[in-house]
Chains A and B, each alone.
Chain A
Amino acid sequence: MRNVGIIMRRELASYFATPLAYVFILIFLVLANAFTFYLGGFYERGQADLDAFFTFHPWLYLFLIPAISMKLWAEERKSGSIELLMTQPVELWDAVLGKFLAGWIFTALALALTFPLWIAVNYLGSPDNGAILAAYLGSLLLAGGFLAIGSCMSALTRNQVVAFILGVAGCFVFLLAGFPLVLDVFRSWAPQALVDAIASLSFLTHFESIVKGVIDVRDLLYFAMLIGFFLLATTIALNLRKDL
């Protein structure tokens, strides 16, 4: 576990050594606020809550999270630094987890920087702060799920653009797994049980139930298992071919 921390700190520091961290945080904050006020109708709703803010997170993450995750492994492959990392006495799993956690902490930081909205809504009225906290947790879990999918896609290629596109596509499928757009593909041939299983994998369904302020163990378990699954898949993809 010691190595997880060492690798995580190095990765996190590398975000801030390049413009990536600053550009990402800036764009994230601008878009999150723009969506809240213009598309979400924050003022027009006349309610002291942050629903207008959280509703757009899945769509915001759909494009922004793969932009972080694409570099996780594809960049290491491209620059060759993966050979330096993989020849240190480090378990592959520790490296996968460390790099993932760095990305997750970074998105948590970006998310935390939206706190002025929370202050504003408390100034304007008296919102249910417990529900807001739950929604923040849901948003963070969603980001973690997207990151894990992106990490796996990034491990498959040495090309960051390919990693980005695969990441967006993978996240999109999971985001809309409960909707006709995805389900119709399966409905024509797959048994109903499989269709239901796929529908239950939908990010949006689980995210929305947490955002409503209901923290269900099943939703937490869903995100934990999804993240675990894709990090395992990342490890397998790397192990299969380190010298891509």
Chain B
Amino acid sequence: MIKTEHLTKHYGSLSAVEDVSFQVGPGEVLGFLGPNAAGKTTTMRMLAGFVTPTSGRASICGHDVEAEPLAAKAALGYLPEGAPTYGEMTVRHILAFVADLRALKGARREQRLAHVIERLQLGGVLDQTIETLSKGFRRRVGLAQAIVHDPPVLILDEPTDGLDPNQKHEVRTLINDMARDKIIVISTHILEEVDAVCTRAIIISRGRIVADDTPAGLAARSRYHNAVSMQLEQPGQLAGARDAVAALPAVAQVEVSERDARLTALPRSGATILPALSELAARQGFKLKELHLESGRLDEVFRSITA
């Protein structure tokens, strides 16, 4: 269990994090979202015991981060922002160093090291120094050190930053595999990641929590929730289609994209418009390339609550 109560951090007169309270339980993957400089990293640093809160408390598995720092840190695997490590060290030495500090011994040490090296595909670069590695490899070394001791709680600050699409997929699979029995908090500004791995999302803006919901719940706040998007085969029909759709009583607004002959109908609140639209298209003889129901657009929700 991760618990924060009224966590606040001020740097002089600048308020970085203001009164942040939340709890995360086992099996949850919490996505921490927010614009740059919103306070995501500062919050995570306070959870990891790297930044001392101005006021409020945080605890990891019941251990207060300030009062019992070693117990809290022992239960935690942490990937700092930018995955910093010692540039002159080889991957093998970094992982061994962290394994030693995590008090791994004997067969278990060997087994855990072999596991993270295989899982993050570091086998080929074990004897290369960190400064010769690409950004993607550095991130993976950072992830490997965070999970080497198999901690019950993981806090990962932008775990997929700098990775290519294949590596992103790998890391998301890794997070999903670990999600069953761990508590995981990741920060990201990639919204597709929330759908891909998170069971819950907190949006933070100017240091405050502005939304705390499931990804589906957040999407439902979108004005595109239950909107219907249709793409026409003949762009010439676009104007006529728009007028016909706008005339439907349940449709609140129609948006048109000339570029791909697409039309998006937004429903009045609570209304269901898909059947009416599909019937209209059949009746008026619109040739459709595509017709689909939107669940909501996270990026639009994100912008509307953080702007």
Which A residues are within 8 Å of any B CB, using their own CB?
A: 2-3, 6-7, 10, 13-14, 17-18, 79-81, 83-84, 86-91, 242-243
Contact = CB atoms under 8 A, between A and B. Distances in A.
B24 interface: no
A88 B73 contact: yes
Contact of A17 (B50, B82, B89): B89
B48 A87 contact: yes
Q: Which of B50, B71, B93 has the most CB of A within 10 A?
A: B50
A243 B80 contact: no
Size class of the B contact interface (CB-based, 8 Å): 20 to 34
Contacts of B80: 80, 83-84, 87
A87 B49 contact: yes
A242 B50 contact: yes
A87 B51 CA distance: 10
Contacts of B85: 81, 84
Q: Which of A80, A87, A88, A242 has the most CB of B within 10 A?
A: A87
Interface of B: 45, 48-52, 69-71, 73-74, 76, 78, 80-82, 84-89, 93, 97-98, 100-103, 129, 145
B89 A14 contact: yes
A3 B101 contact: yes
A90 B50 contact: no
Shortest 6 CB-CB contacts between residues of A and residues of B: A80-B84, A83-B80, A17-B88, A89-B73, A89-B74, A88-B101
A86 B48 CA distance: 9
15 contacts: A6-B101, A10-B97, A13-B93, A80-B84, A81-B86, A83-B48, A83-B81, A84-B80, A84-B85, A87-B78, A88-B73, A89-B69, A90-B101, A242-B50, A242-B52
A81 B84 contact: yes
A87 to B, nearest CB: 5
Contacts, number: 70
Contacts of A79: 84, 86-87
Given A83-B80, A87-B80, A243-B51, A6 B97 contact: yes
Nearest to B70: A89
A244 B17 CA distance: 17
B46 to A, nearest CB: 10
B84 A83 contact: yes
A34 B11 CA distance: 51
A155 to B, nearest CB: 15
A83 B50 CA distance: 7
A84 B51 contact: no
A88 B45 contact: no
Contacts of A2: 103
A2 B82 CA distance: 29
Given A80-B80, A91-B70, A243-B51, A14 B101 contact: no
Contacts of B50: 83, 86-87, 242-243
A89 B100 contact: no
Given A79-B86, A84-B84, A84-B145, A6 B129 contact: no
B102 A18 contact: no
A7 B101 CA distance: 8
A114 to B, nearest CB: 27
A175 B74 CA distance: 42
A170 to B, nearest CB: 26
Contacts of A10: 86, 89, 93, 97
Contacts of B52: 242
Nearest to B88: A17
B36 to A, nearest CB: 17
Contacts of A89: 69-71, 73-74, 101-103
